[in-house]
A and B are shown apart, each in its own frame.
Chain A
Amino acid sequence: MTTLMAILIGTFYAAAIYMMLRRSVVKLVIGLILLSNAANLLIFTVAGMDRGIPPLIPKGELLIEGPAADPLAQAVILTSIVIGFGVLAFAVVLIHRACEVVQTDDMNEMKGTD
């Protein structure tokens, strides 16, 4: 399964980078979304993929019997999904605003610093 996931993540990265290299600022946003999904899946895959053993302690016990999926990777991805959404929301509004002010969506015309 890891091999398939590796191909999947590679495709995500390639698609994300290609979109981020476009001149249209809207496509940059789509690239960002793809990139954050790719990064999350990367962490998820590298931590090891196990089926049906979520890190939940059964009721009335203190420890999990037998193996469990890596909880740390899941916690990190959870954080990263939320933060990624925050960044995205901010970027989207910022880009929207910038397009209104600069009157263009072409990043070649957005390169001035003032």
Chain B
Amino acid sequence: MLIAVLSCFILACFAPWLHRLGGRHSGWLLALLPASLFAYFASMLPLVSQGHSLQFAYAWFPGMGIQLSFLVDGLSLLFALLITGIGFFILAYGGRYLEKHKDLGRFFVFLLGFMGSMLGVVLSDNLISLFVFWELTTVTSFMLIGFNHEQEDARKKAHQGLMITVMGGLALMTGFIMLGMAAGSYELSTILYSDGLTEHALYLPMLLLILLGAFTKSAQAPFHFWLPNAMAAPTPVSAYLHSATMVKAGVYLLARLNPGLGGTDTWLLMLTLFGALTMLTGIFLASRATGVKKVLAYSTVMALGTLTMLLGLGTETAALAAVTFLLAHALYKGALFMVAGILDHSAGVKDFTQAGGLRHSMPKTTVVAVLASLSLAGIIPLFGFVGKELLLEAVLSASNWHIGLTIATVIANILVVLVAAIVALKPWFGAVVDTPKKPHDPDIALLIGPAVLATLGLLFGLMPFIADKGLLAAAAGAVYGQPIELYLALWHGINLPLMLSLSSLLLGLLLFKVWGGWRQLTNFMHSAEKIGPEVVYERLMLGMTQFAAWQTNTLQNGYLRNYLITTLGTVIIVVGWALLRVNQLELNISFQDMRVHEVAIAVLLIFSALIAVLVRSFLAAVAMLGALGFGVALLYVFFSAIDVGITQVLVETITVLLLVLVLYRLPEFRSLSSTANRIRDAIIAGMTGLLMTILILVITGARQLEGISEYFLQNSGPLGHGRNVVNVILVDFRALDTLGEVFVLALVAIGVYAMIHLRTGALPVTNSDRRAAFNLRRSQKDKAKADAKAEAEASAAASKGEE
């Protein structure tokens, strides 16, 4: 099983070379993989259709309880078969469709990568691995939407799809973690049958987060706008990702989690409400569009909404209706998208208004298109009819709001018939319209996919028990949570659903007659689109970049002082708050236990620090620093740190020498800051100092855990064979640290040497020259500044005079 999923990724790595080998027929060559995977999954059918589920587990991060486990039951097998089956045709189709495209090899990489990720999503038993695969489908989808990356439009739309689905993905991850915490396991097979999830305190937040993830992925309103925009992808991608598989990942997730999380009022409300809203929005927009792919994309939005609504209802009929509708939709929508690609490829038609009477020149394509459209419209005896009857039945028998949902569904159905009629009739029948290319039937690679899918739609319609017994009953059982007792049938007798679908058929056809009028009538949508969700999205994105620009300009302003002030201010506020609130300032003050010479040194140190700050001469400051360093060394020696004291003395000597030698060449101290700035800095510095003092007084009274020093004291002799414990620590216990330190010092030495010997030609040569030049430039600069100031004052005075 692991091999089955990984094989797609492995093949993806080699796809460009295989593409070169296979040449014109590389699509067929690569399609062998999904074909064999399809056979592999089909071999599980007998077991799964009896209601068994198969599990495969591989250790992944055993320490964190994350394993790569796979679950094959009716639902995941249905998806796996769709992914590999349609994938087979798409690879063959894509190989021919993009035959002349220079990046075809890359196309195969992304498409195969997507196939593997999608298989991972539907087969994963572990929430974490499911999430990883979920995000991988997002990434591959981004790559495929932006496949024509030289067009700005494609890039923009790919970005939009990515942002929305990634935002949902983040929410989903949080939801998954909550779900894992609530159920005590990340294994779906455990989660789904654990009790009490719906009563858990985290139920509402995790449900909302997971729904956000599923809704963005499956383009539910108000996130529906990314899906039609994703049609910037090449048509094979639209057919595969954005109708048959990826967008259904959200629906899959809802169906998968239904036994564990479903059945509550919130679930019912959220799913049916958003589902019905999406259904109506999608089909309404589809009925107004004229672009071939736009119409299909919007009707896909409608289908996704319908599926969500059915999953929300959660009854036995609804579960069966959902899987039936899902299969029917994948078959006819996959076929229709591929037909749309053929229209573009063979006749250059991208818009329904550009075409007419193509049945003479493209007879085979016409048959396929009509067959698939009839299934879309839900006309007997196609499989779409079975799905639609079940849908109506499920809605009519819903426990709550069945009248509202039924009305919504019937309205949607009327418009679906209109859309199906446009797709089935507009380009093929009627008067012949001149097309950009000379229309002709395409070759087998392009035609076989839609033909087989459309024929399957007819076959399953005539003999629904094949699909039912084979898989759908098991899939519906997985959605419902227990085996279901319903069976698919083409003919249910004359009943209410049949009457409703007949009347919607008539009304839909009537509407087709006046399609132009309908589009005129609904023109108000043009103004409504100006406040639609897509505009909100654009505003948000723009606002984000503006905010980022503002924030960067404010915080990253290039002044060291401002960075320091920001950092220190934050530290003072946060640490100070914590000290006040948590610790309530239990200070550990005692002035006992002091010796006279220690106090003298400490006072001397305090004074030398203050003088180093206050003096105006650089040499005096360096001298003060020297005194300070040696004083600190004395402190170390007084308090049992002899090695530290010795080192400090050595380093301090070199430091003073270095400062005198190097910095002596630099200009003297100057007073650059204004008095106000000095006061501000003094306040910040004083507060930092006070904070550190308080911190020390708090810390020294609050040591809670024993350190590891005792270990070093005990083991230096026996293990390190040294008597100076500090030295043993440095060269033995923490020898690697010391080695790193040696490296750092070596690097510093090289850097210092390099910088001293780096000469730039134009600079003066001797030291005195340098100083002279420097001071000259500075005086010039100061003078220029003074001049500018005087000038500004003069002009200000002049303007005042004019007033």
Closest CB of chain B to A12's CB: distance in Å?
Answer: 6
Taking a contact as CB atoms under 8 Å apart, the answer to whether A88 and B641 are in contact is: no
Taking a contact as CB atoms under 8 Å apart, the answer to whether A74 and B644 are in contact is: yes
Binary per-residue interface labels of chain B (605-635) against chain A in the complex, 1 for a CB within 8 Å, 0 otherwise? 1100110110000100110010011001001
Cβ < 8 Å to A, chain B residues 266-320: none
Taking a contact as CB atoms under 8 Å apart, the answer to whether B685 and A21 are in contact is: yes
Taking a contact as CB atoms under 8 Å apart, the answer to whether B752 and A28 are in contact is: no
Report Cα–Cα, A60/B463, bound state, in Å.
97
Cβ < 8 Å to A, chain B residues 739-776: 741, 744-745, 748, 751-752, 755-756, 758, 760, 763, 770, 774
Stretch at the interface among B82-90, B367-375, B573-581, B704-712: B704-712
Taking a contact as CB atoms under 8 Å apart, the answer to whether A81 and B625 are in contact is: no
Measured between beta carbons, the chain B residues less than 8 angstroms from A37 are 628-629, 632
Measured between beta carbons, the chain A residues less than 8 angstroms from B760 are 100-101
Report Cα–Cα, A95/B664, bound state, in Å.
12
Report Cα–Cα, A17/B561, bound state, in Å.
10
Q: Is the CB of B185 closer than 8 A to any CB of chain A? A: no
Q: Is the CB of B132 closer than 8 A to any CB of chain A? A: no
Given A34-B609, A72-B707, A81-B648, A51 contacting B639 (CB threshold 8 A): yes
Measured between beta carbons, the chain A residues less than 8 angstroms from B560 are 20, 28, 107
Taking a contact as CB atoms under 8 Å apart, the answer to whether A33 and B625 are in contact is: yes
Q: Which of B559, B564, B609, B752 contacts A11 (CB 8 A)?
A: B609
Measured between beta carbons, the chain A residues less than 8 angstroms from B639 are 44, 49-51, 69
Cβ < 8 Å to A, chain B residues 579-623: 588-591, 593-594, 598-599, 602, 605-606, 609-610, 612-613, 618, 621-622
Measured between beta carbons, the chain A residues less than 8 angstroms from B708 are 72
Q: Which of B591, B632, B781 contacts A41 (CB 8 A)?
A: B632
Taking a contact as CB atoms under 8 Å apart, the answer to whether A33 and B655 are in contact is: yes
Closest CB of chain B to A42's CB: distance in Å?
Answer: 7
Taking a contact as CB atoms under 8 Å apart, the answer to whether B725 and A68 are in contact is: yes
Q: Count the A residues whose beta carbon is within 8 Å of the partner chain — how many?
A: 94
Stretch at the interface among B34-42, B400-408, B726-734: B726-734
Given A7-B693, A99-B666, A113-B558, A18 contacting B685 (CB threshold 8 A): yes
Report Cα–Cα, A26/B664, bound state, in Å.
10
Binary per-residue interface labels of chain B (693-718) against chain A in the complex, 1 for a CB within 8 Å, 0 otherwise? 11011011000000111001110111
Q: Is the CB of B491 closer than 8 A to any CB of chain A? A: no
Q: Is the CB of B568 closer than 8 A to any CB of chain A? A: yes
Report Cα–Cα, A69/B770, bound state, in Å.
51
Please name the residue on chain B nearest to A7 by beta carbon.
Answer: B693
Measured between beta carbons, the chain B residues less than 8 angstroms from A6 are 692-694, 696-697, 700
Taking a contact as CB atoms under 8 Å apart, the answer to whether A89 and B712 are in contact is: no
Taking a contact as CB atoms under 8 Å apart, the answer to whether B640 and A52 are in contact is: yes
Binary per-residue interface labels of chain A (2-16) against chain B in the complex, 1 for a CB within 8 Å, 0 otherwise? 111111111111111
Binding site for A on B (CB under 8 A): 557-561, 564-565, 568, 588-591, 593-594, 598-599, 602, 605-606, 609-610, 612-613, 618, 621-622, 625, 628-629, 632, 635-636, 638-644, 647-648, 651, 654-655, 658-659, 662-663, 665-667, 669-670, 672-673, 681-682, 684-686, 688-694, 696-697, 699-700, 707-709, 712-714, 716-718, 722-726, 729-730, 734, 737-738, 741, 744-745, 748, 751-752, 755-756, 758, 760, 763, 770, 774, 777-778, 781
Q: A38-B692, A45-B700, A86-B748 are in contact. List 19 more A-B contacts (CB 8 A).
A: A6-B700, A9-B696, A10-B696, A11-B689, A24-B672, A30-B621, A30-B622, A44-B635, A55-B640, A57-B722, A68-B725, A71-B726, A79-B737, A81-B644, A81-B648, A82-B741, A89-B748, A94-B755, A113-B558
Can you spell out 12 A-B residue pairs with CB atoms less than 8 angstroms apart? A10-B693, A12-B609, A13-B689, A50-B640, A55-B726, A57-B716, A62-B718, A63-B714, A69-B641, A78-B644, A96-B666, A99-B774
Binding site for B on A (CB under 8 A): 1-24, 26-30, 33-34, 37-38, 40-42, 44-46, 48-59, 61-64, 68-75, 77-79, 81-90, 92-97, 99-101, 103-108, 111-113
